[in-house]
A and B are shown apart, each in its own frame.
Chain A
Amino acid sequence: MLIWQILIDGFAVSALYALGATGFTLIFGVSGVLNLSHGALMVAAVVAAWVAGGEWGVSSHLGAIFGVLVGFVMSLLTYFAVVRPLQQSSKIREEEKEIFILTATLLWGIMISELIAYLYTNNAKTVLPIVEGVVMLAGVRTPANEVFTSVICWLVIGLLWLLVNRTRAGKAVLAASMNPRGVTLLGVELSWIYVGVWAVYGMLVGIAGVLLGMFLGVSSYSVGPLTASAFSIVVLGGLGSVSGSLIAAYVVGYLETMTAYLVSPAYRTIPALLLLVIVMYVRPRGLLGRR
């Protein structure tokens, strides 16, 4: 029984991680930006859905859509207000831009989470599940919403895969991640690609956030751990490799679930971190990293 429990729970958690990390790695792959306000954007989406559902009393569907929308808008805001000014700045040397973008997105993340804490307190918020009830899977009582979460996550990841591999715009994005100068020479504006990628990222962050909010309570305290988990998954999978992130998300998700069930929930994140350290020493590029 326990093994099924672990398999089912782990699958849902991993799917969520995969969705969150995919966006994170997409941004890095295309524009070389590690967005440390990632967790804050997710929490912003959760809180938006919670406010819509709890305070305005709209239906859980509408609330979820509003949450995704807020994630989307916040993502574009992050790009235009924080990331792009730094990328285009002439006052900062190229080799120092990385630390500036990291510092700035961190500060931006702190601002978002502080503002949320100020406006809506630090209490954990849960978003009303879209699907209610419980289903039996291999003899395990599983909330229907957990199944729903896994399905949506994989649906979105599948759509993203189609978008990147089967459309011209997607191919251009993929090409830009390999060689930005090359796509410019072919008449593609890099700025369009960046905006497009941040828009897609915003959708992913919003969806991942709202689904997470249905899964467990989220507060401004979750900002750090959420960024950190996306970060570790992406590093483990190899920066910029989407398929690497998917694999890593499952490795981390199952490691955590197993530890939580078999050892103690308190030790939940430790094995994954240790694995990360080992990978960093043995194979610093990550599992499927290119560079």
Chain B
Amino acid sequence: MTPTRSLASRILLSRTVWIGLSVVLLASTLPLYVSGYILGLLTMAYYFGVFSMAWDLLFGFAGEVNFGPSFLIGLGAYTAGILDNLYQPSIWLCLFGGAFASVAGGVVLALPALRVRGPYFGLTTLVAVLILQNFVIVAAGLTGGEIGLTVPDVISVDAGVNYWIALGFMAASGAVLYALSRSPVGLILQASGQDAVQAGALGFNVTKHKLAAFVISAFFSGLAGALLVFYLGAASVGTFVDVTVGVQVIIAAVLGGRRTILGAALGAVFLIAAGEALRPLGDLSTFIVSAMALVVVLLFPSGLLGLLTRARETT
């Protein structure tokens, strides 16, 4: 075999691609034999998976600790919801508007990131969330304030269709983000995140690549947020903007395994599944899920996917 394998053969040979594809295929059959309730949960989980994957691109690859994923998510969700509420254009236009607003927010967020280092950037992102949260509450006429925003349109009322849309969207986003992380640009991004000085000396414009990472991360976060609004038919601070939403996104990514993209989706599904499995415990379920996540963070810092791949490497 020649040392330079063709692109097609690489894709065909990649185990991750095959496993991923089979998991998606298997998951797409679920509506045939699973209750609408569980489909609804998984639909949520899939959108959260996209949030987490987009976050992992920024943290795991560009090395930027973004504590405010819900800033980008919220911008996308509320922009789409407000557009629909005010003008009722086609849903496509709303989705596009949401993604666009989120990208604009990502650029704004990137400005301090490229100037300040260390904990300060993390703080800026958190502050961004608080500001958005306050704005939503204050501009109640536009956003519905604390009560929330109801959108007149939904994509579909059928649980199965919504499920398939979410699954398809997650699979597509995952494929794009994963491919990106493995592409030459992903390599440059990792180098910039790890040692920006050296990346510069190797001839890479670190600012440009990091800005691109912000834009891509924001695009997927915003689009997922907008889609989720049309699935839920409503937007509220508690589901989209609150710091705790962002925390869940981060926990899912850390739990699944940083720097893996796909691990983030796994973590999100796991979190929601665990929350559901523990539902009989009532109010204690969040406590137990957090405790489990804390145990993983403390004892298995490479996360679920890290555990799986390490097990494979050692055997």
- Give residues in A with beta carbon < 8 Å to B: 34, 82, 85-86, 89, 91-92, 96, 98-100, 102-104, 106-108, 110-111, 114-115, 117-118, 224, 228, 231-232, 235, 239, 266-267, 269-270, 273-274, 276-277, 280-281, 284-285, 291
Known A-B contacts A106-B247, A110-B244, A277-B131; the reply to A86 vs B298 at CB < 8 A is: yes
Give bound CA distance, A96 to B118, whole Å: 11
Residues from chain A with a CB closer than 8 A to the CB of B135 are: 270
Q: Decide: B301 and A91 in contact? CB cutoff 8 A.
A: yes
Closest chain-B Cβ to A27's Cβ sits at a distance in Å of: 13
Q: Decide: A224 and B287 in contact? CB cutoff 8 A.
A: no
Q: Does B290 contact A (CB under 8 A)?
A: yes
Neighbour of A102 across the interface among B67, B134, B301, CB < 8 A: B67
Give bound CA distance, A107 to B131, whole Å: 23
Known A-B contacts A228-B243, A270-B134; the reply to A104 vs B286 at CB < 8 A is: no
Q: Does B213 contact A (CB under 8 A)?
A: no
Q: Decide: B126 and A111 in contact? CB cutoff 8 A.
A: no
Q: A99-B254, A276-B127 are in contact. List 4 more A-B contacts (CB 8 A).
A: A92-B301, A100-B301, A103-B254, A118-B282
Interface centre among A99, A117, A270 (most CB of B within 10 A): A99
Q: Does B170 contact A (CB under 8 A)?
A: no
Give bound CA distance, A191 to B130, whole Å: 35
Known A-B contacts A86-B298, A110-B247, A267-B138; the reply to A228 vs B130 at CB < 8 A is: yes
Known A-B contacts A114-B283, A274-B131, A277-B127; the reply to A98 vs B119 at CB < 8 A is: yes
Give bound CA distance, A134 to B182, whole Å: 68
Q: Decide: A228 and B123 in contact? CB cutoff 8 A.
A: no
- Name A's interface SS: helix
Place the interface of chain B in its size category. 35 or more
Residues from chain A with a CB closer than 8 A to the CB of B119 are: 34, 98, 239
Residues from chain A with a CB closer than 8 A to the CB of B59 are: 99
Q: Does B187 contact A (CB under 8 A)?
A: no
Q: Does B85 contact A (CB under 8 A)?
A: no
Closest 10 CB pairs of A and B: A114-B287, A284-B116, A107-B294, A118-B283, A110-B290, A114-B286, A111-B290, A92-B301, A235-B123, A107-B290
Closest chain-A Cβ to B257's Cβ sits at a distance in Å of: 13
Closest chain-B Cβ to A240's Cβ sits at a distance in Å of: 10
Residues from chain B with a CB closer than 8 A to the CB of A277 are: 124, 127-128, 131
Q: Decide: B294 and A111 in contact? CB cutoff 8 A.
A: yes
- 1/0 contact string of B93-131 vs chain A (CB within 8 Å): 000000000000000000110011011101110111011
Residues from chain A with a CB closer than 8 A to the CB of B27 are: none
Give bound CA distance, A13 to B127, whole Å: 21
Known A-B contacts A280-B112, A284-B120; the reply to A224 vs B244 at CB < 8 A is: yes
Which chain B residues (230-263) contact chain A, with CB distance < 8 Å? Answer: 242-244, 247, 250-251, 254, 258
Closest chain-B Cβ to A21's Cβ sits at a distance in Å of: 14
Known A-B contacts A99-B59, A104-B298, A114-B286; the reply to A266 vs B137 at CB < 8 A is: yes
Which chain B residues (264-293) contact chain A, with CB distance < 8 Å? Answer: 282-284, 286-287, 290-291, 293
Which chain B residues (33-71) contact chain A, with CB distance < 8 Å? Answer: 59, 65, 67
Q: Decide: A270 and B138 in contact? CB cutoff 8 A.
A: yes
Give bound CA distance, A291 to B291, whole Å: 34
Neighbour of A82 across the interface among B112, B131, B293, B298, CB < 8 A: B298
Q: Does B142 contact A (CB under 8 A)?
A: no
Closest to B242 in A: A224
Q: Decide: B297 and A103 in contact? CB cutoff 8 A.
A: yes
Give bound CA distance, A224 to B293, whole Å: 19
Closest chain-B Cβ to A275's Cβ sits at a distance in Å of: 10
Residues from chain A with a CB closer than 8 A to the CB of B287 are: 110-111, 114-115, 118
Q: Does B302 contact A (CB under 8 A)?
A: yes
Give bound CA distance, A140 to B79, whole Å: 45
Residues from chain B with a CB closer than 8 A to the CB of A231 are: 123, 126
Closest to A232 in B: B127
Neighbour of A114 across the interface among B138, B290, B293, CB < 8 A: B290
Give bound CA distance, A118 to B288, whole Å: 12
Closest chain-B Cβ to A109's Cβ sits at a distance in Å of: 9
Q: Decide: A99 and B65 in contact? CB cutoff 8 A.
A: yes
Closest chain-A Cβ to B260's Cβ sits at a distance in Å of: 14
Closest to A279 in B: B127
Give bound CA distance, A106 to B284, whole Å: 17
Known A-B contacts A98-B119, A224-B244; the reply to A103 vs B251 at CB < 8 A is: yes
10 of the cross-chain contacts (CB-CB < 8 Å) are A85-B298, A89-B298, A98-B65, A106-B251, A111-B290, A114-B287, A228-B130, A235-B120, A269-B134, A273-B134
Residues from chain A with a CB closer than 8 A to the CB of B123 are: 231, 235, 280
Closest to A108 in B: B294
Residues from chain A with a CB closer than 8 A to the CB of B302 are: 91
Residues from chain B with a CB closer than 8 A to the CB of A269 are: 130, 134
Neighbour of A228 across the interface among B112, B122, B126, B297, CB < 8 A: B126
Q: Decide: A273 and B297 in contact? CB cutoff 8 A.
A: no
- 1/0 contact string of B294-308 vs chain A (CB within 8 Å): 100110011000000
Residues from chain A with a CB closer than 8 A to the CB of B251 are: 103, 106-107
Closest chain-A Cβ to B44's Cβ sits at a distance in Å of: 19
Closest to A101 in B: B297
Known A-B contacts A104-B298, A224-B243; the reply to A114 vs B127 at CB < 8 A is: no
Residues from chain B with a CB closer than 8 A to the CB of A106 are: 247, 250-251
Neighbour of B297 across the interface among A107, A267, A284, CB < 8 A: A107
Residues from chain A with a CB closer than 8 A to the CB of B67 are: 102
